[in-house]
Amino acid sequence: METADRTASASVIVAIDGPSGTGKSSTSKAVAAKLGLRYLDTGAQYRAITWWMLTHGVDVSDAAAVATAADKPTIVSGTDPAAPTITVDGVDVAGPIRTQEVTGNVSAVSAVPEVRARITELQRTIAVTAREGIVVEGRDIGTTVLPDADLKIFLTASPEARAARRSGELRGKEAADLAATRAALARRDAADSSRKTSPLAKAHDAVEVDTTELTLEQVIECVVTLIEEKREKQPA
């Protein structure tokens, strides 16, 4: 990973990975805000390119078609943890990328190597130019995108806890009972973990944090502590 653009006073680059429902987004945003770091939701970028494919009539089940179109949309991510933004060709897609249609197709689109290469390059550029330091969350950050990140954290939780959290997030937006949500998460896990290019996996040097029995505040405090300990060990 190229780090020449980072200043000597830059804060840490933190990679937070894990499957859906473990609290990655809520934790990452809160930690970044608390420590004065930038924040990047890489999953939103894959959702954004999936949304673009769907709205432009690309057959997302056709990997060749998706690969051909991978370089066409312009995706811009705002990294303010208090108000992260995501636009595609200048259009705010923060809402549209959270639809069930996008959710159901994002794994197929993100598995295409050309898509991953495009988005990975974008993610690395954002990370190494964040002079305040940055928290980057996703599924392959510590293993593929930022293998030299200063700190890698892998969040886990039991299937039951993850399903309960995700059902709570969806309530009032899209009907989803607990069993259906758990089944959907299992399908997503299987797709993300088995893809040939940059599968969901824990980096060998990542710190694992099981959030099953923890409140969000406890997870945030745990991650903040890990980052502060890493900062103390860095050379002045």
Across the range 205-219, mean pLDDT stands at 95
CATH number, domain of 187, equals 3.40.50.300
Query: In this structure, is residue 233 part of a structural domain?
Result: no
Q: How far apart are CA 233 and CA 225, in angstroms?
A: 13
Does residue 10 surpass a pLDDT of 50?
no
In-domain check, residue 110: yes
97 part of a folded domain: yes
Q: Evaluate whether residue 142 is within a structural domain.
A: yes
Percent over 70 (pLDDT), the chain:
91
Residue 3 within any structural domain of the chain:
no
Classify residue 57: in a domain, yes or no.
yes
How many structural domains are present in the chain? 1
Per-residue model confidence as pLDDT tens digits over 173-207: 444 477 777 787 777 777 777 777 777 789 999 99
Query: Count of alpha carbons within 13 Å of 129, Cβ hemisphere only?
Result: 8
123: in domain: yes
Is the per-residue pLDDT at 125 higher than 90? yes
> Is 4 part of a structural domain of the chain?
no
pLDDT band at 9 (very low <50, low <70, confident <90, very high): very low
pTM, entire model: 0.84
- Which is higher by pLDDT, 163 or 90? 90
Which of the four pLDDT bands, split at 50, 70 and 90, describes residue 160? confident
Quote the mean pLDDT of the chain. 88
Instruction: Name the phi and psi angles at 223, rounded to 5.
Output: -70, -40
The residue segments making up the domain with residue 132 are: 13-226
Q: What is the mean pLDDT of residues 81-89?
A: 97
Confidence class of residue 227 from pLDDT cuts 50, 70 and 90?
very high
- At residue 170, the pLDDT reads 58
Contact status, residue 206 vs residue 17, Cβ threshold 8 Å: yes
